[in-house]
Amino acid sequence: MRSGKSVLLIIGGGVAAYKALLLIRLLKTAGIGVRVVLTRAGAEFVTPLSIGALSGEKVFTDLFDLTDEAEMGHIQLSRAADLVVVAPATADLMAKMSAGLAGDLATTLLLATDKDVLIAPAMNVRMWEHAATQANLATLRARGVAVVGPDEGDMACGEYGPGRMAEPEAIFAAIQEKLEESRIDLRGPGAGAEAADLRGKRIVVTSGPTHEPIDPVRYIANRSSGKQGQAVASALAARGAEVVLISGPVRLDAPPGVERRDVETARDMLETTLAALPADALVCAAAVADYRVADAADQKLKKADGAGRSLNLIENPDILATVSALPEGERPRLVVGFAAETQDVIAYASAKRERKRCDWIVANDVSQGVFGGDENRVTVIDADGAEDWPRMGKDAVAVKLAERIARALT
């Protein structure tokens, strides 16, 4: 199966380079051609031989510079593909791109290309957070470079934080989105309807935790990272849907192509969700706090020596149940909830589906490090029964769910 599309993949030097091999496989399976340029530093982590075996194409490195110049010029190489992808994009590569340096094959191609560029940054957390890198990132973004990731998590260097390269599935989804955009540009509106089957559909997604104030400086929260909800929003947008993402406080940038409305509390989230309707579908991926403090203090609470303190908690409104109970015409045609359980997942989740009167429940077992992690193992429960999905990246879950939603709505 050939899509007729191709990408030029530049592999920079970093531990994450091995993930580029998985990306090549995903692209080839989807019928997307891949031509690879391996930087000198990248060649310290993966070999031209393994890349060539996967891509089925000659791999370009500085070592082959002269012969390649005879066969295919730099300019031609930089423009033959539909999209240029840099993964991993190291701090060094980003700095060179930002400054317009062209000291080697990869940077020369990046400067010479007339195609869109997508980067997947990967570096140590301090390097990522350094003002220099953030300034380079802002420059690249301002020039229209698309960015996927980085993710937050344990790093090969032993530190924790943002800097891990996005998973291959997420980069793949971002590539598909970019290729879809370029196809629309080339063929005009309405083209490519088979992949953009949610065009014209409006979908609201809730995501992330809520923060319920105790006093002006303290709040009740939970460990939700918002990754799964944002991935769902991105995957729906990639299929052409108009997506409103209603997000509690998270450390993630808003995904491209999605309108994100930021909220704090469950009550804000409910109000903002109702205001975003009507919609064709609602996906409630948020980990909404079940309770809030009844009498949150206006001033910072002081420690009363020796004495304990108790919080008076009252129940929050249930967004999923509220929207599911809206009358026909106001209720989205499809309402999807998530259920994070630690035991008897299917039984609890099925009961939840009936109690909240939503159409589907995406149930996941959170007893094994799903919160904040990059992987998920879910069971989708609807009126007809339960469908078990294998363990996969949260992005892959999102892509599969978006596909299922598209089938239900079209």
Positions marked active-site: 157
274 three-state secondary structure: helix
Reported as type and span, the H/E element at residue 207 is strand 202-207
State how far the Cα of 318 lies from the Cα of 305, in Å rounded to an integer. 37
Q: Distance of alpha carbon 84 from its chain centroid, rounded?
A: 19
Q: Which two tokens stand for residue 232?
A: 């769902």
* Cβ atoms of 24 and 10 closer than 8 Å: no
- 24 binding ligand C5P? (CB under 6 A): no
**Best CA proximity match to 122, nearest among 23, 237, 25, 255:** 23
Least Å from the CB of residue 379 to ligand C5P = 14
Span from 18-26, 82-90, 195-203, 317-325 in contact with ligand C5P (CB under 6 A): 317-325
Q: Which listed residue (82, 92, 318, 365) binds ligand C5P by CB under 6 A? A: 318
Q: Which two tokens stand for residue 216?
A: 């002006």
* Closer residue to ligand C5P (CB): 78 or 316: 316
Q: Which listed residue (10, 252, 339, 396) binds ligand C5P by CB under 6 A? A: 339
Least Å from the CB of residue 319 to ligand C5P = 3
Q: Which listed residue (248, 332, 337, 393) binds ligand C5P by CB under 6 A? A: 337
340 three-state secondary structure: strand
State how far the Cα of 55 lies from the Cα of 33, in Å rounded to an integer. 8
Q: Which listed residue (23, 120, 288, 366) binds ligand C5P by CB under 6 A? A: 288
* Closer residue to ligand C5P (CB): 128 or 338: 338
- 359 binding ligand C5P? (CB under 6 A): no
- 381 binding ligand C5P? (CB under 6 A): no
Least Å from the CB of residue 331 to ligand C5P = 14
* Size of the chain in residues: 410
* Closer residue to ligand C5P (CB): 296 or 349: 349
Give the amino acid at 337.
Answer: G
Q: Is 81 exposed, middle or buried (0-12, 13-18, 19+ CB in 10 A)?
A: buried
Least Å from the CB of residue 282 to ligand C5P = 9
* Closer residue to ligand C5P (CB): 77 or 236: 236
* Cβ atoms of 202 and 244 closer than 8 Å: yes
Span from 72-80, 137-145, 154-162, 314-322 in contact with ligand C5P (CB under 6 A): 314-322
Least Å from the CB of residue 344 to ligand C5P = 13
Count of CB atoms situated within 10 Å of the CB of 396? 23
* Cβ atoms of 13 and 39 closer than 8 Å: yes
Binding mask 258-287 for ligand C5P (x = CB under 6 A): --------x-----------------x-x-
Q: Which listed residue (319, 363, 380, 397) binds ligand C5P by CB under 6 A? A: 319
Q: Distance of alpha carbon 217 from its chain centroid, rounded?
A: 30
Site for ligand C5P, rule CB under 6 A? 206, 266, 284, 286, 288, 290, 316, 318-320, 337-339, 352
